[in-house]
Structure 1
Amino acid sequence: MNLQTLTGLLVGFLGLPSLILGLLLYSRRRVVRLEQDGLHARGKVVRVRNPRNNKRAVDYSFRPPEGPELQGSFQEWPPPASEQTPGSPVDVLYLADAPHHHMAVGTGLSRRFFLILATLLVLFAGVGTLTALREYLTHPGQEEARAHTTPAPP
């Protein structure tokens, strides 16, 4: 393995999981802020997509006292025993200083799911990085040696 290949592998094994972990962390922080500082509003279901599937999307709308009607959606998987239908109520959390940041109560990225994903990403990054480094360090210059050897005359 040459240095360029090692660099590419390290970018993949460290950079990609770091990027995904950063996005997950941003999402989790927003959920925590909504749960701690969010204001409650009563919304209503506008539409239910794929109502017969195991995973369905529920679109909702709500109107904060400070502004216009806002819309959002959430996934139900597995669907709860009681079915959501258009017009049924939905409890919504939103931020007073940024009402466009909102979510239906209980639908954000949970701490447990975040920790599971973060652990898997760190394990993937660690194992991939160690494997790439071990391969690079145990077979140094292997490709360069093959390129410089000339075949024996017949």
Structure 2
Amino acid sequence: MLAGLLVGFLGLPSLVLGLLIYSRRLVVRLEREGLHARGKVVRVRNPRSNKRSVDYAFRPPEGPELQGSFQEWPPPASEQTPGSPVDVLYLADAPRHHMAVGTGLSRRFFLFIATVLVLFASTGTLTALHEYFTRPEKARPSTTPAPP
């Protein structure tokens, strides 16, 4: 039981935090080293909702056309329509890594989610350990097998 709780309170937040760190590092690398390209909006999904998806396409000079998408929440005052221009950042050595300018995982959001994950992991782990070690000896499961 304790092992399951520790996996839940330490393992899952660590996995999510690792994915967030990877995403944030990629955004920082794109912002620092990324090359600029001009793309165009291909499609706008849920144009009337508070959160809409914008699909775009661009062609780096050294390769085929690439596509991506980003979320607008809340949508800006100017309406994106198919054919509208989009500024794109991409890595010269890996053009498959790209993003529309200003749409990556922000530092503020990353720090907020990382803080929530660390607080969740530490509170859950400390609570599970406290409950396990403060239980009366009789309630604790036996780890030694019974003699035959």
Range class of TM-score, shorter chain = over 0.9
CA distance in structure 2 between the aligned counterparts of 1:136 and 1:124, rounded to whole angstroms: 18
Which amino acid letter does the alignment assign opposite residue 41 of structure 2? Answer: V
Superposition TM-score, scaled by structure 2 size: 0.93
Q: In proportion to residue count, which structure has more helix?
A: 1
Superposition TM-score, scaled by structure 1 size: 0.89
Deviation at 1:122, TM superposition (A): 0.1
Identical residues among aligned pairs (%) = 83
Matched, 1:39 2:35: yes
Alignment of 1:44-123 (within 5 A): 44-123=40-119
Q: How many residue pairs end up in the alignment?
A: 141
Which amino acid letter does the alignment assign opposite residue 121 of structure 1? Answer: L
- Which runs of no fewer than 5 residues in structure 2 stay unpaired? 142-148
CA distance in structure 1 between the aligned counterparts of 2:29 and 2:140, rounded to whole angstroms: 54
Q: Which has the larger radius of gyration?
A: 1
Q: CA RMSD, aligned part only?
A: 1.0
Q: 1:136 aligns with which of 132, 138, 143?
A: 132
- Which runs of no fewer than 5 residues in structure 1 stay unpaired? 146-154
Once the two structures are superposed, residues 43-89 of structure 1 have per-residue CA deviations (whole angstroms, 9 ceiling, x without a partner) of 00000000000000000000000011000000000000001000000
Which amino acid letter does the alignment assign opposite residue 61 of structure 1? Answer: A
CA distance in structure 2 between the aligned counterparts of 1:84 and 1:40, rounded to whole angstroms: 20
Which amino acid letter does the alignment assign opposite residue 3 of structure 2? Answer: T
Deviation at 1:142, TM superposition (A): 4.1
Deviation at 1:133, TM superposition (A): 0.5
Deviation at 1:141, TM superposition (A): 3.5
Equivalent residue for 1:23? Answer: 19
Matched, 1:127 2:127: no
